[in-house]
Structure 1
């Protein structure tokens, strides 16, 4: 099974920087995952009235509550096949806001046809978000979020973007510094900027996939609805 992100990009993936192709090429077929370690120069959130959004999101590791500079950061991306037989990449971002105070932002990616990735957010996959990846002229990766659905037990409904936000992620590789750079911004149409972070990290590519993937980075519940 091929990479979730590269499959969505199709032939466009050839324009990605080679290190980004390796980073987002994790899959059970490729036989490796990706573990990143670095520092976020800045983790920020919007004005005080945006805090209820962040508090609700942080409840199940959907958003990060807190601010800081020079924040130690890890991003663990592991490939496995989920209980529904789907090639899956779990992405766990951990921010050490201060010693002993960690915040997690969990996502699980599955393929959703040409040009799109389905992203389940949080420990229980309550939110399903459509992601559209693209390659920028300089070989960087951009990912933009779209429609969102909320699922809990028998309940399922489209989550209005008016009550949520649109995320834009950009990742690049800096050849001179030999590191990945990342910038993430989440904005609400009316409230403006909600949350974001930016910084740098380096990666290792362990041969850990499938059943060997640690339980700590897998979601506690899996959702089949798209």
Structure 2
């Protein structure tokens, strides 16, 4: 079976740089993961009004409430079978900020019902959104998010736009430097810029086969609803 991003992008996946295709091919059938290590040149957040939201999200590894420069960074994309039998891939980002490392956790699945990737956020997957990846025309990748959904027990509701956020991720491979370059920006329709980071990293692709997901990467709760 094709990797998540290949299923979501169709022929557009073939227009990515070969190193990006390799990076986003982590999956159960390929038997590989992708581990990136590098530095975020800058982690930023918006004004005082957004800080309570960032602090609340950080409790469950959603977003990062601190700002910083030249921050060591890792991203772990490891495929696994979730509790519902679906193929999933972790997107666990660790920022080694001074005094306190921070994580921004997510797991992604491809939803045939929605025809796109679904991104489950945080340690408990209470928040989910659709992701729409596309080539940027220069070998790079652009990912834009749809509206947020909140799930807890029987509750399944869309997050009102003024309380939510929209993310845009841009990633490309810099052949001269031999590094991936990434820029992430989250905005809110009322508050404007909320959070983001930009920097670069290298990647390796260790074999994982179909081994169980390490406990440190597994979410505390998994959401079945796409």
Alignment TM-score, normalising by the size of structure 2: 0.96
Partner of 1:111: 110
Report the 3-state secondary structure (helix = DSSP H, G, I; strand = E; otherwise coil) of the residue aligned with 1:51: helix
Work out the CA distance in 1 between the residues paired with 2:212 and 2:58. 28
Q: Which runs of structure 2 are paired with 1:90-109 in the superposition (5 Å)?
A: 90-98=90-98, 100-109=99-108
Partner of 2:189: 189
Partner of 2:89: 89
Q: Deviations over 1:137-191 (max 9, x none)?
A: 1010100010211011222211112102100000000000000000000001111
Work out the CA distance in 1 between the residues paired with 2:139 and 2:115. 17
Q: Deviations over 1:52-91 (max 9, x none)?
A: 1111211111111100000000000000111111111011
Question: Which consecutive segments of 4 or more residues in structure 1 shift more than 2 A?
Answer: 209-213
2:170–2:182: 8 Å Cα contact kept in structure 1? yes
Work out the CA distance in 1 between the residues paired with 2:43 and 2:5. 25
2:33–2:208: 8 Å Cα contact kept in structure 1? yes
Partner of 1:27: 27
Shift in Å, 1:212: 3.8
Structure 1: stretches of 5+ with no match in the other structure: none
Shift in Å, 1:115: 5.6
Deviation larger for 128-137 or 147-156: 147-156
2:36–2:76: 8 Å Cα contact kept in structure 1? yes
Q: Deviations over 1:21-40 (max 9, x none)?
A: 00000001001000000000
Q: Deviations over 1:186-219 (max 9, x none)?
A: 0011110000000000011011143343111111
Report the 3-state secondary structure (helix = DSSP H, G, I; strand = E; otherwise coil) of the residue aligned with 2:168: strand
Q: Does 1:39 align with 2:39?
A: yes
Work out the CA distance in 2 between the residues paired with 1:214 and 1:97. 23
Partner of 1:10: 10
RMSD: 1.2
Number of residues of Structure 1 aligned to a counterpart in Structure 2? 225
1:77–1:89: 8 Å Cα contact kept in structure 2? yes
Work out the CA distance in 1 between the residues paired with 2:161 and 2:186. 11
Q: Which runs of structure 2 are paired with 1:63-212 in the superposition (5 Å)?
A: 63-98=63-98, 100-113=99-112, 116-212=116-212
Work out the CA distance in 2 between the residues paired with 1:215 and 1:6. 27
